[in-house]
Structure 1
């Protein structure tokens, strides 16, 4: 027989330990963006006794990738996929239902589906045609998986709510208990932050004598990070109508061939007013971390973030967060670090400018908000949760033949 057939059962803790030490895991990342790569490599590094086979597809051609990844995997990775595995772990971009049909051996092993984001809450780009297909693919995959994992409760709620809204629009043939069934087999485990970030952090940062405060905006240069809000907020902050201490702003992050034109206007604005720090993509990760470590604040204007890793790593290095009060941010750092958002660009820009100015003045005056403690997001603290995930999923199956 070319693959194992499994039968569910319950194992005690010692049996779980033995099983985990001997498992072979196939880990598939169908759209291997930076956070996805970070997560899968971190997972494999944390469990060196497990034999991981990782197969990742480049993060490009989104519409094709999310619909065609099963065909790519099944035809170009046939030998690797038909090898023996005890556990299959997929990111939510993997078209799991189609893949299991094309590679039947994968239908007989326990499966974990990990959601870094969900297609129900992702804002549509003006350059993209709206399609329900990405939502259908992830819905089918969640039905197929034994365990469904989300990186935040915000992400989990958004997916389940989106599934409920979608099936309410479908004509027939859908079990009304579908959302509840997915919810029952779901759990929340964030993408952990590397322990080295916390050992590198030096605690609260004191402003050097005569030195300007430093703000960092460290996100992908794309529409969903709402650069229009950043530009409008900076226009108000730099207009001269708001009293501010001296500051510099670093505008850094991953850039792409096609990016919103407003980023050029933001760069020009920063340089014109003499507040530009480092601008552009930072090739060296150590240099990138140095920027975060010497910055006082990390700023976000994002329209969507399901966990906000770039913000969280900056906070772990001592940056005080200045974040929109929506999406995942209140869950991750608390509402006291967030400015209100309404969806009206001018209103939100004013709220951002007022809140950021307040925080800058407080820091300059020596009376600032304490930086949130994110130690619970470290791999050291999240390890047991991930170990339990692997134990529980593997332990529910045992070899039958």
Structure 2
């Protein structure tokens, strides 16, 4: 157990990555906390791991996400401070959107900066994530009233690298309708396909940063123009759901194919395979696993020309304004074959575990540096 894996918020993409590492990296042990009450995990997980992780002379590498305050942990457990400490950023709190700047809790971003200062290697899931973090440090620290530290970016940047989040793309051939199979190695006779569908990816409907308002307003415009479409809205149901969801569900009732949480990953993939278009209206995104999974299932992606999306998707799949999004969806409703016959020009293999796995294994070797040569890795 030379590799110590710690995850203070073991859910979603955090859990996906940890599970991949546990399955694929030899000689590792993991300790986790459930993906609940994120704010408390960020505040107190170091104290939990101080007690939960047994002392051992076998540890050589410590890998954790940036939810954990690594500085607190190594202060509480000096024995862990001697390890090669790898910090992985799924997101960063310096630019994570809040409704009002006054609502931003300084402590979360401050914790991440401290963690970077004590880490040996700092890894981000995208260049957007890395640069938005590093370029915001100076401005972020200016919120301190006085005695502000200087040159923190200069100290942290040399440790930083980009290593895209690795995805295991499952075989979905059996779920694909005939018109999609024609674009895959396994072919079959063409059959009549259903009406064009839009599919929204929203992992947490209560989050304002996914901008469900824009998505549903766009669909209601399509409805008002009497265009033919079906929509699937996938995601967990939370207590604090924006009113737009119930309003849109009522107004779009004749267009809804699926609505709400899918009970299994297989069911989720089946819905994606039946969709023709996947739409993101996110106000924030540091990587976007769900969009890439939808592309793997044969969906035409439409994403904002902002955030991480230009890093992953060619310009043809990006929109700059709500009007452009509406115009594109209107075009697909009128001519669904434009989406169905299109072969998406996104190199999914670049984001697969098969391509990235060796880089993560190298990262978790005690005596190795970051020797990345792939164009998506730096």
TM-score range, shorter chain: 0.7 to 0.9
Matched, 1:114 2:94: no
Matched, 1:247 2:235: no
Matched, 1:172 2:155: no
**Unmatched tracts of structure 2, length 5 or more:** 183-189, 370-378
Equivalences for residues 217-296 of structure 1 within 5 A:
217-219=200-202, 220-221=204-205, 222-240=207-225, 244=227, 246-271=228-253, 274-296=254-276
- SS for the counterpart of 2:3 is strand
Q: Which residue of 1 aligns with 2:361?
A: 387
Please give the alpha-carbon distance, in whole angstroms, between the structure 2 residues aligned to 1:115 and 1:383.
17
Please give the alpha-carbon distance, in whole angstroms, between the structure 2 residues aligned to 1:367 and 1:285.
23
Please give the alpha-carbon distance, in whole angstroms, between the structure 1 residues aligned to 2:166 and 2:339.
32
Q: Which residue of 2 aligns with 1:85?
A: 59
Greater CA drift, 317-326 or 92-101: 317-326
- SS for the counterpart of 1:323 is strand
Q: Which residue of 2 aligns with 1:209?
A: 192
Greater CA drift, 127-136 or 302-311: 127-136
Give the C-alpha shift of residue 28 in structure 1: 0.9
Greater CA drift, 247-256 or 160-169: 160-169
Return closer, same or farther for 1:183/1:234 CA change in 2, 3 Å cut-off.
same
Please give the alpha-carbon distance, in whole angstroms, between the structure 2 residues aligned to 1:148 and 1:295.
37
Please give the alpha-carbon distance, in whole angstroms, between the structure 1 residues aligned to 2:41 and 2:98.
17
Q: Which residue of 2 aligns with 1:340?
A: 320
How many residue pairs get aligned? The number is 356
Please give the alpha-carbon distance, in whole angstroms, between the structure 2 residues aligned to 1:210 and 1:64.
48
Contact 2:169 2:293 in 1 (8 A): no
- SS for the counterpart of 1:57 is strand
Higher relative contact order (CA 8 A, sep 6+): 1
Equivalences for residues 58-97 of structure 1 within 5 A:
58-75=34-51, 77-79=52-54, 84-97=58-71
Q: Which residue of 1 aligns with 2:306?
A: 326
Greater CA drift, 255-264 or 149-158: 255-264
**Unmatched tracts of structure 1, length 5 or more:** 1-22, 342-347, 397-401
Coordinate RMSD, CA, aligned = 2.5
Return closer, same or farther for 1:217/1:375 CA change in 2, 3 Å cut-off.
same
Q: Which residue of 2 aligns with 1:190?
A: 164
Greater CA drift, 361-370 or 100-109: 361-370
Task: Write out per-residue CA displacement over residues 147-175 of structure 1, whole angstroms, 9 at most, x where no aligned residue.
Answer: 00000011011110111322355533624
Contact 1:213 1:360 in 2 (8 A): yes
Give the C-alpha shift of residue 86 in structure 1: 0.9
Please give the alpha-carbon distance, in whole angstroms, between the structure 2 residues aligned to 1:154 and 1:190.
11
TM-score, L = length of structure 1: 0.82
Q: Which residue of 1 aligns with 2:185?
A: none
Please give the alpha-carbon distance, in whole angstroms, between the structure 2 residues aligned to 1:236 and 1:285.
31
Greater CA drift, 189-198 or 157-166: 189-198
Matched, 1:163 2:148: no
Task: Write out per-residue CA displacement over residues 294-346 of structure 1, whole angstroms, 9 at most, x where no aligned residue.
Answer: 211111111111101111111112111011211111111122101114xxxxx
Q: Which residue of 1 aligns with 2:21?
A: 43
Please give the alpha-carbon distance, in whole angstroms, between the structure 2 residues aligned to 1:256 and 1:133.
26
